[in-house]
Chains A and B, each alone.
Chain A
Amino acid sequence: MDTGGAAVLRTGGSGRFVPERVRRAPVALVIGASVVGVLAALPVLYLFVRAFEAGGGELLETLRRPGLLALVLRTAALAGVVAGASVAIAFVLAVLTAATDLPLRRLSSVVSVLPLAVPCYVGASAVVGLSGPGGVFEGMGAVHGFSAAAIVLTLFIFPLAYLPLRASISRVDPRLIDAARSLGESGLGATLRVILAWSWPACVGGGVLVGLYTLGEFGAVTMLRCDTLTAVIYEQYRSSFSRTGAAVSSLLLVVLVLALLGVGGLLRRRGKWSSARGSSRGGVTLRLGAWRWPAFALVMLIGAGPVLLVVLTLLSWLGGSGLGVERTIGGGLWAGAATSASVAIAAGVACVLMTAPAAVLAARYPGRVSGLVERAVSTGFALPGIVVALGLAFFALRATPFAYQTWAMVIAAFVVLFAAQSLMALRASLERSPVRLEEAARTLGRGPVGAFVGVTLPGLAPGIGAAWVLVTLSAMKELPAMLLLSPAGSVSLAELVWSSTREAMFASAAAPGLALIGVSAGLVWLVAMREGLTR
């Protein structure tokens, strides 16, 4: 029996498995993983073409733009603040819903993911509407700027960090807490420290994902007047029509992405002593005692509060005037809902299938290829939608003109934009399924393929639902790529919401906005019920 390619692992003193030497990944796996990496790298390639086509002059001029440094720092600060705040909120909710005797835990878990159903631009326009004339917060002054953007983004995207954290915390090894107690540490503080240490990789992973999202966010930051690099990129497309300046700014954004991934890597290593280990059972249940119901109220407040506020605002717009409502309800609303849902569902499936090889590679054979693929898909996630759309248009018009502006192309764009979320969820799931099972299978005489199909693939299963729901929700809400790449004549919910709010026809934005939130919330519910999310 050939054991040459198999890993030789030794058990460290801590019980942790340390690869003795890097194993060589199967060629098919490397190729499969590279497909998504190459696809996600296409927009960056396009950016290089556009940034350098006009010679170095315009490039230098863009880099010398006054206030550029402040802009880059503000963008980085916003990403950092939103990531930090999101992880903090997500940690509290994950502990409450996964490691305590909180009442109605299933409901609480679903509610903690609910904010993802609200597109950030809808959240922002509701906040702006509420603070405007006739709004609930009228007279508090205009809500805008850095802190407003940070708060709105945190409230609506922290579930990106909650999902991996919850999965991690629900598998905390109870023996660690016993050990901490036996060493004289006592009380809640010690338990929380152990949980934090245990879930540290998930904290960092979730934080990086939120940070990447914030870098590429456009709708909410412009609506709340917080200038970021992405807002400036859109501004450049609008003002110069030359595309070179926008390409240079986009490359700066790519530098920020790499920096963020670097910081993530450093933070992850700092917590290495507690790195996640395969443990198929586990979990702890802290007794909340008298705090059970107040804690439940807190979860509802954070998870459902902002969503409810947005829904009520939309309802008041809907009821505020009959004008324009029947126009959108009559035309396009149902077609838009059907299109949005089916494209988003298909994009979710495509993303899961395409990132699965990359996830296996990253979890089992970490190395140069998996690192490059991770960077490529992270860049795709952080680049503004218009950059990804124009980049794919550039290549499709030259290489595959027959596919230009078809649904296949929209789905390809969604894979580029959202593969990072799918990769994160699948990889986390694999890392929780012990490597030694595969090794055992190999030792017991299964070939590499047999071990893969019998042991590795089932290890992916718990992450599939989370990966799919993350991508599908993002695809439902996505705007620029959908607008530029979908077949002419099609209609989507996101477009209906956007075109109404753009023209300040809030009454007609309300119906498609509510439909978008409704369909998304339905998806969250469906997956939460089927998946391990609630266990």
Chain B
Amino acid sequence: MGYKRYAFAVIAGIAAVFALAMHAGFGRAEDGAREAASPSITVYSGRARQLVAPVFESFERETGIRVRVRYGGTAELAALLLEEGDRTPADLFFAQDAGALAAVERAGRFRPLPESLRRTVEPRFVSRASETGGGWVGVTGRARTIVYNTDLVDPAALPQTLEEVLGGEWTGKVGYPPTNASFQAMVSAMRARDGDEKTMQWLRALRASGAKTYANNTETVRAVASGEVAIGLVNHYYALRMLTESPRLPIANHYMGGDDVGSLVNVAGAGVMRRRGGTDATHEASERLIAFMLSEQAQSYFATETFEFPLIAGVEPPAGAPTLERVGAGTIDLGALSDLEGTLRLMSRAGVLP
């Protein structure tokens, strides 16, 4: 009896080890064969596989450069990159928000980008000159927006600034995700524009107006769809995406014009890593990948499939969204959004974070 149990465990173990060996062995053989022909690069992607894998795949097809991708949370990967230092195996970091890019840049982990790449997008979506000399460039735009319930709200009555969200007819009818990175980036932008004092007042007033908190953008949009709240402060693409999954949901986006941070445009962006194993070939391949992500083909993929704003001229915005020029907050320096710690302290003093 005992032997049978052992046999079972041993067989399972051998099978597993065998499977792994096959896995590893095949992987390596394949690598070797391809590497001889063209370089291969490793990407740390803070953006989900479902959203960006097709872009990497078409890049591989077009250039013959092999792209190995590690998918993970933007923050976790940034922490790993900082832990790894110049020992990192990553050639390129593709992050979901400018804050993480700025933190990696401050630590001196990015290489400088060629001027030709930096000029592809508007200056507000590129890292500014810095001490470390390294830099990143925005790939797609993600706007803050007000999502509203079309059954409950008359579009003409929607607030035009974040000040108008406080109190009045919106008392108790606003939802927002205080722990969400994009919401916090918006608060950082408000601090950069109005100073800590005014930002604190706005946060306190928001809380006092009975606004409801949700775990993330998705939950906030769901609450708007169910009528639990009438409007929500979220990123623009959640409603667009949910409407393609369930077209009958009573939700729509409202963009605030002018210079209001309520429609701040943050970016997903990328930079090339400084690393010990890096060669001219891998650096060049990484820059080619960034250039590819900024090509018309990839930009219109992002606009139609991930509902994000293209950052190069001549590509249509996502269906149901205005062009980027008509979305506000053009003067905010995205580099100023990196003081997340200060923002979190302010938010917790205002009582909107535990």
**CB of B103 within 8 Å of the partner chain:** yes
Nearest B residue to A391 via CB reads: B83
A225 within 8 A of B: yes
Query: CB distance B348 to A500 under 8 Å?
Result: no
Asked if A401 contacts B87 (CB within 8 A), the reply is: yes
A390 to B72 Cα, complex, angstroms: 14
| A447-475 CB contacts (< 8 Å) to partner B | 458, 461-462, 464-465, 468
Instruction: Decide: A225 and B215 in contact? CB cutoff 8 A.
Output: yes
Task: Specify which of A352, A495, A508 is in contact with B9 (CB 8 Å cutoff).
Answer: A352
Kindly state whether residue A196 has any CB partner on chain B within 8 Å: no
Q: Which residues of chain A are near B16, meaning CB under 8 Å?
A: 342-343, 345-346, 348-349
A484 lies within 8 A of B20 (CB): no
Q: Is B170 an interface residue (CB 8 A)?
A: no
Provide the residues of chain A in CB contact with B103, threshold 8 Å. Answer: 241
CA distance A404 to B221 in the complex (A): 41
| Distance between B124 CB and nearest chain A CB, rounded to angstroms | 23
Task: Report the minimal beta-carbon distance from A66 to chain B, rounded to whole angstroms.
Answer: 7
Q: Determine the distance from Cα of A388 to Cα of B42 in the docked complex, in whole angstroms.
A: 23
A465→B71 CA distance, assembly (Å)? 33
Instruction: Find out whether the CB atom of B340 lies under 8 angstroms from the CB atom of A239.
Output: yes
Find out whether the CB atom of B341 lies under 8 angstroms from the CB atom of A505: no
Give B218-264 interface residues, CB cut-off 8 Å to A: 218-219, 221-223, 225-226, 228, 238, 241-242, 244-246, 249
**Is A342 a contact partner of B83 (Cβ separation < 8 A)?**
no
In the complex, whether A128 has a CB less than 8 A from a CB of chain B is yes
Knowing A323-B244, A458-B2, A489-B68, the reply to whether A238 touches B181 (Cβ < 8 A) is: yes
With contacts A142-B228, A489-B68 taken as known, whether A345 is within 8 angstroms of B12 at the C-beta atoms is: yes
* Chain B interface main SS type: helix
Which residues of the partner chain B approach A134 to less than 8 Å between Cβ atoms? Answer: 246
> Given contacts A386-B76, A465-B5, A504-B238, is CB(A394)–CB(B83) below 8 Å?
yes
Give Cα A321–Cα B246 distance, bound, in whole angstroms: 8
- Specify the chain B residue showing the minimal Cβ separation from A527: B8
Name A462's closest neighbour in chain B (CB-CB).
Answer: B5
CB interface residues, B 334-354, toward A, < 8 Å = 340-341, 344, 348, 354
Taking CB atoms, residues of chain A closer than 8 Å to B226 are 132-133, 138-139
Measured in the bound complex, the distance between the Cα atoms of B219 and A224 in whole Å is 11
**Distance (whole angstroms) from the CB of B2 to the closest CB of chain A:** 5
Indicate whether A222 sits within 8 Å of B68 (C-beta atoms), given known contacts A327-B50, A343-B20, A345-B12: no
A94 at the interface (CB under 8 A from B): no
Q: For residue B241, which residues in chain A have a CB less than 8 angstroms away from its CB?
A: 503-505
Residues of A within 8 A of B70 (CB): 483-484, 486, 488-489
Complex Cα distance, B5 from A462, in Å, reads: 8
In the complex, which residues of chain A have a beta carbon less than 8 angstroms from the beta carbon of B24? 406-407, 487
Report Cα–Cα, A409/B119, bound state, in Å.
41
Contact yes or no, A128 B80, CB < 8 A: no
The smallest C-beta distance from A70 to any residue of chain B, in angstroms, reads 8
The smallest C-beta distance from B325 to any residue of chain A, in angstroms, reads 27
- How many of chain A's residues touch chain B, expressed as a range? 35 or more
A202 to B283 Cα, complex, angstroms: 57
Least CB separation from B1: chain A residue: A461
Interface string of A373-410 (1 = CB under 8 A from B): 00000000000001001100110010001001111000
- B107's nearest neighbour on chain A, judged by CB, is A241
Whole-angstrom CA separation of A397 from B89 in the bound complex = 10
Q: Give the residues in chain A near B20, CB-CB below 8 Å.
A: 342-343, 346, 407
Question: CB distance A507 to B245 under 8 Å?
Answer: yes
Considering the chains assembled together, what is the distance between the CA atoms of A524 and B301 in angstroms? 42
Q: How many angstroms from the CA of A483 to the CA of B225 in the assembled complex?
A: 33
CB-defined contacts of B79 to chain A, threshold 8 Å: 237, 241, 243, 386, 390
> A132 CA to B83 CA in the complex, in Å?
39
A461 to B3, CA, bound (A): 9
A491 CB to closest chain B CB (Å) equals 7
Give residues 139-182 of A contacting B (CB, 8 Å): 139, 141-142, 144
**Considering the chains assembled together, what is the distance between the CA atoms of A323 and B50 in angstroms?**
11
- Report 8 cross-chain contacts, Cβ distance below 8 Å, ordered by A residue: A241-B79, A324-B50, A345-B12, A386-B79, A389-B80, A487-B27, A488-B43, A488-B70
Binding site for B on A (CB under 8 A): 66-67, 71, 128, 132-134, 138-139, 141-142, 144, 222-225, 227, 234-235, 237-241, 243, 320-321, 323-324, 327-328, 331-332, 338-339, 342-343, 345-346, 348-349, 352, 386, 389-390, 393-394, 397, 401, 404-407, 458, 461-462, 464-465, 468, 480, 483-484, 486-489, 491, 495-496, 499-500, 502-508, 530-531
The 5 closest A-B pairs by CB, nearest first: A238-B75, A349-B13, A489-B68, A499-B48, A342-B19
